[in-house]
């Protein structure tokens, strides 16, 4: 999995691509979020538009990222879910837990 970040109006957009699975993918996501929080970036928008696969470990990592950011007074939202990821979040009832967006500009505004 690959991860890159960019700043838009005080929101950190994290562009993820590849697979979020047990091992490397989950570790990259965890490290990315930890790094952002350590630098005081607490408004995080995870762009999953290029994430074509996620397993239960990856779901667990998304949940962990969400609760970690919330516990530090921040917010984490999801952007551009692929069908596979969307379906998995539906099945696991997490679709209603996460704030899921499909428009980047609107998603950035929603943090303010």
Using CB under 8 A, pick the residue from 4, 7, 72, 92 that binds other proteins: 92
Angle, CA 57 vertex, CA 53 and CA 61 arms, to 5°: 95
Using CB under 8 A, pick the residue from 29, 46, 88, 107 that binds other proteins: 88
Q: Least separation, in Å, of the C-beta of 111 and other proteins?
A: 21
Q: Which of 42, 43, 46, 55 lies closest to 84 in space, CA to CA? A: 55
Using CB under 8 A, pick the residue from 5, 18, 22, 82 that binds other proteins: 22
Distance of CA 95 to the CA centre of its chain: 13
Contacts (CB under 8 A) with other proteins, residues 31-70: 55-57, 59-61, 63-64, 66-67
Using CB under 8 A, pick the residue from 2, 34, 84, 109 that binds other proteins: 84
Taking the alpha carbons of 40, 6, 100, 58 in that order, is the dihedral positive or negative? negative
Q: In what order do the strands lie in the sheet with 43-54?
A: 2-8, 11-20, 43-54, 75-79, 100-101
> Where along the sequence are the contacts to other proteins (CB under 8 A)?
21-23, 55-57, 59-61, 63-64, 66-67, 84, 88, 91-94, 97
């Amino acid at each position: 999995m690959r991860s890159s970040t960019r700043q838009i109006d005080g929101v950190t957009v994290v562009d993820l691509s590849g697979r979020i699975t047990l091992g490397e993918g989950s570790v990259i996501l965890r490290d990315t979020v930890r790094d952002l929080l350590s630098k005081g970036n607490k408004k995080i928008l995870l762009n999953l538009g290029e994430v074509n696969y996620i397993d239960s470990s990856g779901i667990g990592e998304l949940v962990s990222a969400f609760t970690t950011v919330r516990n530090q007074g921040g917010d984490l939202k999801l952007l551009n879910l692929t069908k596979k990821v969307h379906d998995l979040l539906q099945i696991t009832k997490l679709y209603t837990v996460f704030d899921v967006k499909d428009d980047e500009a609107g998603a950035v505004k929603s943090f303010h």
